[in-house]
Structure formats: C-alpha cells, structure tokens
Amino acid sequence: MAGDLQSWVLMATARSPTNIAVIKYWGKRDEELILPVNDSVSVTLDPDHLSATTTVAVSPSFEQDRMWLNGKEISLSGGRFQNCLREIRRRARAVEDEKKGIRIQEEDWEKLHVHIASFNNFPTAAGLASSAAGFACLVFTLAKLMNVNEDYGELSSIARQGSGSACRSIYGGFVKWAMGNNANGSDSIAIQLAYETHWSDLVIVIAVVSSKQKETSSTTGMRESVETSKLLEYRAKTVVPTRVSEMEEAIRSRDFASFARLTCADSNQFHAVCLDTSPPIFYMNDTSHRIINLVERWNRSEGTPQVAYTFDAGPNAVLIAQNRKAATLLLQRLLFYFPPQDNDLTSYVLGDKSILNEAGLQSLEDVEALPPPPENKDKVPHKKFSGDVSYFICTRIGSGPKLLTDENQALISPVSGLPK
C-alpha cells in the first residue's frame, strides 16, 4: 500500500441526478436483489435543480466505513448500503496517484475503509426520489474512486441493489429499466433510450405538496401491493409491456400527445394499484387531485395535451409541459389556484426562474392579477388553495452522473477525512 504514511486521503466527488418514472416501477419479484415485476421508463431531471453530490474518501487511517447524509452521520449497516459497497469493492482495481505518491493495489481495497459524505440540493424528506439520486451517486462515486472498469449498465445494476429506481439515475435523458429475466439480476439494468438533448423542448414543473399525513414507504407499499393487490400482476404482465413499447416509440418520435397520455394513465394506474392494496395506500391527496383536474380540464379544452402529470409515492405532482409556452401557461394556472401564502414569490418558485418572467409573474401583485383559466366554466367563484402547495420547482430533463474534479466541491476535508 501507498507511501506508508498513514495520513493520506484519496477522494472522488460526483453529482448524480434524480429521475421521475413515466412508466412506473411498483412491485419486486425479488426483495433482496431488488428485481422488479415490470420494465419502467423515466426521465432524468436536471441535476442543477435536483441532484445528490457525494464525496467518497479512502485512507488507511479510517477505521471503519462511515457515511454522512446532509451533514448528519447515518448508519451504513443496512443491507442496501452493504450490497453497493460489496459489489463495487469486488470490482475495485489498482489506483495510482503519482502526484500524491499514493498507490493502492487491487487487493488493498478489501482492507481499506471509506468515508462517504452526501448532500442533496433539494429537501430530502419532500418525496422527490432522493434515494434514487443518492444511491446512483454513491455507486458512481465509489466506482470512480476504486477505478472500477465496468460499463454503465453494470453500474446501474449495482445502484439498483441500493434503491430500485436509482439504476435509472445512472443515465441522463430518457431511460428504461429492463426488468430482466435472470434470477441473479444480472440483466435487470438501465438502458439509455435517448440523450437529454433528444427532446429539449420539454419543461418540468414540480409542485411540492404540503402533506399532513405520514406516508407508507415505497418499500413497504410495494411489498403489500405484491401480496394483496389482485390487479398488480395483471398490470405488470399485461398492461405495462405494451405501454413501455408505446412509450419508447413516443419518446423516439417526440410525440407529446402519446407521451402525455401514457404518462398520465400509468401514474393513475400505479395509484390505482396502491388503492387496490390491503390496507389501501393513499399517496395522492385532495391537492394532488385538484392539480390533476386542472391539467385534465385544460388539456381537454385545448383538444391536445399541453402537460402530462405523474405522481410517485407521495402527493407531489411532476408536470411535464410540451414546451416553454405551455410551461408558462401552466405556471399561471398553478399560481392562480395555489398562490403563495406569504409574500415571497422567489422562494415559492424555485429552479429555472426564467419561466416566471416569461409568464409575466415578477411580483405577488402579478399573481393576484392573474385571470381565471378560461377553460374553467364552473359557475361558482374560483376557489383558491393558498398553503396547499409548499413550493414549485421549474426544471428540465438533464444529464447523468458527472465527476466533479474541482477539489473545492468535495464534501470531505482531505486533511481530516471528515465532512467539511
């Protein structure tokens, strides 16, 4: 092992995106290996707005593997962390850093411990697939540090063992998680369907919905659905395969009408299966329903879909607009029904704020002056639901994991080996 001084610290830092499924993953056929009952398709979200950044450091002075998430130490004893660490260590190769005079032999990795620091640039508890970004980033960064020579498909299958949907965060753009057939999960990997540049018109608006209820974790929910839902197997075996093919074609041909129809239908069917579970699982609440109704009403009045919606295991809406024009009209509608509770618009609409400007919304007065959407023909006065949405994030489809070479971006001090 290198240079014989116990004090060296070698590090790698990377950033990985989160992703949102447009054909949903719900149900495992193998709990341990995290093998799904159907293929799924996702879009990767722009890491500028939603991503995990992870630094992995190695040093002969580290006495055990340790991890800090958003500055707080967390346990690595869980099987999911252990699976990822074991699978990457198994593939670790010799590393030489001439400048630092460090040389690590392949066999050294088994004895060396790592310190991991990870940070999400969005609220962890908000139900925005933080574990997808987190495990993708952990695996990607470990692989870089340990000089792992595997293709991204192989890395995705390791990330999958941390959190199923994490495998899809190994790529940018449009991604399919092929369920695979092998019992050992070797062919249950992510495949990139298209780069993020393939369909750059799309604009994404996320409504982070205030939730008063404790939600069922997706791991527990999935297991209960597999055990009790009479509809899940039919969905997985009969409905999803056709939808995945149609979705691939819709993405390939940038056919927004089909993309939106499939995205909305599959989100709703996933929540239908949750409701068909015993005890039933409710992830969407009245606010989620209101957002769906708003979008459905508008899409119908336009004759062709302007916006697709999809909801994961929580009440937050992920809204995909076909272009910037549709996104500005969407934002106007959302802010009409869900105005900010306090006076600060800039902390209510996060991410790509340029859409706010394009929507002509610079101040709270602009929001208050918004006319009711013309498609709402109800005779009753327009109800507003201030406080039901915590905030919005405007973003787009983004790129996959990226190594950050600037040492200033590392989350661990090269001197102490601890989080900065």
Closest to a second copy by CB, 91 vs 261, is 261
Shortest distance in whole angstroms from residue 258 CB to a second copy? 13
Closest to a second copy by CB, 186 vs 293, is 293
**Prior bond to 279 cis, omega within 30?**
yes
Shortest distance in whole angstroms from residue 71 CB to a second copy? 24
The reply on whether position 300 binds a second copy by CB under 8 A is: yes
The reply on whether position 280 binds a second copy by CB under 8 A is: yes
Closest to a second copy by CB, 99 vs 212, is 212
The reply on whether position 257 binds a second copy by CB under 8 A is: no
> Over the Cα atoms of the chain, what is R_g?
22
The reply on whether position 238 binds a second copy by CB under 8 A is: yes
The reply on whether position 377 binds a second copy by CB under 8 A is: no
Nearest Cα residue to 122 out of 390, 411, 387, 329:
390
Closest to a second copy by CB, 181 vs 238, is 238
| DSSP β-bridge partners for residue 55 | 13, 117
Shortest distance in whole angstroms from residue 117 CB to a second copy? 30
Shortest distance in whole angstroms from residue 119 CB to a second copy? 28
Shortest distance in whole angstroms from residue 228 CB to a second copy? 8
Q: Which amino acid is at 1?
A: M
Interface pick for a second copy out of 4, 371, 383, 415 (rule CB under 8 A): 383
Shortest distance in whole angstroms from residue 81 CB to a second copy? 27
Closest to a second copy by CB, 306 vs 395, is 306
Structure tokens at 121: 């640039």
Closest to a second copy by CB, 248 vs 296, is 296
Interface pick for a second copy out of 279, 303, 374, 381 (rule CB under 8 A): 279
- Count of residues of this chain found to bind a second copy when the rule CB under 8 A is applied: 33
The reply on whether position 278 binds a second copy by CB under 8 A is: yes
The rounded distance, in Å, linking the Cα atoms of 381 and 56 is 56
Interface pick for a second copy out of 66, 160, 271, 396 (rule CB under 8 A): 271
Shortest distance in whole angstroms from residue 298 CB to a second copy? 11
Shortest distance in whole angstroms from residue 294 CB to a second copy? 11
Shortest distance in whole angstroms from residue 305 CB to a second copy? 11
In degrees and rounded to multiples of 5, residue 78 shows phi and psi of -60, 150
Closest to a second copy by CB, 168 vs 261, is 261
Q: How far is CA 87 from CA 37, 148, 155, 369, in A?
A: 23, 10, 9, 56
Listed ranges 27-35, 172-180, 232-240, 367-375: which one lies at the site for a second copy (CB under 8 A): 232-240
Q: How far is CA 188 from CA 38, 322, 416, in A?
A: 10, 31, 39
Shortest distance in whole angstroms from residue 218 CB to a second copy? 18
Which residues 6+ apart lie within 8 Å of 207 measured at CB?
Answer: 291, 316, 317, 319, 334, 338, 389, 392
Listed ranges 76-84, 92-100, 293-301, 364-372: which one lies at the site for a second copy (CB under 8 A): 293-301
Letters for 205-224 (x = contact with a second copy by CB under 8 A, - = none) are -------x-x----------
The rounded distance, in Å, linking the Cα atoms of 84 and 75 is 14
413: left (phi over 0), alpha (psi -120 to 50) or beta: beta
Site residues (vs a second copy, CB under 8 A): 212, 214, 228, 230-231, 234-235, 238-239, 261, 264-265, 268-269, 271-273, 275-280, 282, 285-286, 289, 292-293, 296, 300, 378, 383
